[in-house]
Amino acid sequence: MDKDGRLKLAVQKSGRLTDPSLDLLARCGVKLSRGKDQLVGFGENMPLDVLFVRDDDIPDLVQEDVCDLGLVGLNVLEEKRLALAARGVRASFESLRLLDFGRCRLSIAVPEGTSWTGAASLAGKRIATTYPQLLARYLAERQVAAEIVTLSGAVEIAPRLGRADAICDLVSTGSTLDANHLEEVETVLESHAVLIRTPVALAAVKSDWVERLLLRIDGVQQVKESKYIMLHAPRAALEEIRRLLPGSESPTIIPLEGHPDKVAIHAVCRENVFWETLESLKRAGASALLVLPVEKMLS
Ligand code: PRP
Ligand code: ZN
- In the reported structure, the alpha carbon of residue 178 is separated from the centroid of ligand 1 by a whole-number distance in angstroms of 13
Ligand 1, atom 18, residue with closest C-alpha = 15
The reply to whether 214 and 156 lie within a common domain is no
Q: Which of 170, 173, 181, 190 to mutate to test the pocket of ligand 1 (most atoms within 8 A of CB)?
A: 170
CATH assignment at residue 19: 3.40.190.10
Residue 271 vs residue 268, higher pLDDT? 268
**pLDDT at residue 125 is higher than 60:** yes
pLDDT at 291 over 60: yes
The predicted model scores a pTM of 0.84
Output the residue whose Cα is nearest ligand 1's atom 7: 170
What pLDDT, in 10s, does the model give residues 153-162? 999 999 999 9
Per-residue exposure over 222-258, b if at least 16 CB sit within 10 Å of its own CB, e if not: bbeebbbbbbbbbeebbebbbebbeebeebeeeeeee
Closest ligand 1 atom number to CA of residue 55: 22
Q: Are residues 54 and 157 in the same domain?
A: no
255 alpha carbon – ligand 1 mean position (Å)? 56
Q: Is 169 in the pocket of ligand 1 (CB under 6 A)?
A: yes
Name every residue whose Cβ is closer than 8 Å to that of residue 113 and which is 6 or more positions away in sequence: 183
Specify whether 78 is located in the same domain as 115: no
pLDDT given for residue 270 in this prediction: 83
- 73: CA distance to ligand 2 center in Å? 9
- What is the residue range of 59's domain? 7-101+193-222
Q: Is residue 2 part of a domain?
A: no
Provide mean pLDDT across the span 166-189: 97
Answer yes or no: is 298 within a domain.
no
Nearest CA to ligand 1 atom 5: 171
Kindly state whether residues 42 and 158 are assigned to the same domain.
no
Query: How many other CB atoms are found less than 10 A from the CB of residue 183?
Result: 17
Model pLDDT for residues 215-269, shown as the tens digit of each residue = 999 999 988 888 999 999 999 999 999 999 987 778 999 999 999 999 999 999 9
**Residue 137: burial class (beta carbons within 10 Å; 0-12, 13-18, 19+):** middle
Q: Look at residue 4 and tell me whether its pLDDT is greater than 90.
A: no
Q: Residues 6 or more apart from 226 whose CB is under 8 A from it?
A: 268, 269, 270, 271, 294, 297
pLDDT at 2 (0 to 100) = 53
Residue ending a domain, choose from 201, 222, 243: 222
Ligand 1 pocket residue status of 134, Cβ below 6 Å: no
Asked whether residue 19 carries a pLDDT value surpassing 80, the answer given is yes
CATH number at residue 233: 3.30.70.120
Task: Check if 186 has its Cβ closer than 6 Å to any atom of ligand 1.
Answer: no
Mean pLDDT of 94-123: 96
In a shared domain, residues 187 and 234: no
> What distance in angstroms lies between residue 152's CA and the mean position of ligand 1's atoms?
12
- Which has the minimum average pLDDT: 35-44, 51-60, 209-218, 221-230? 35-44
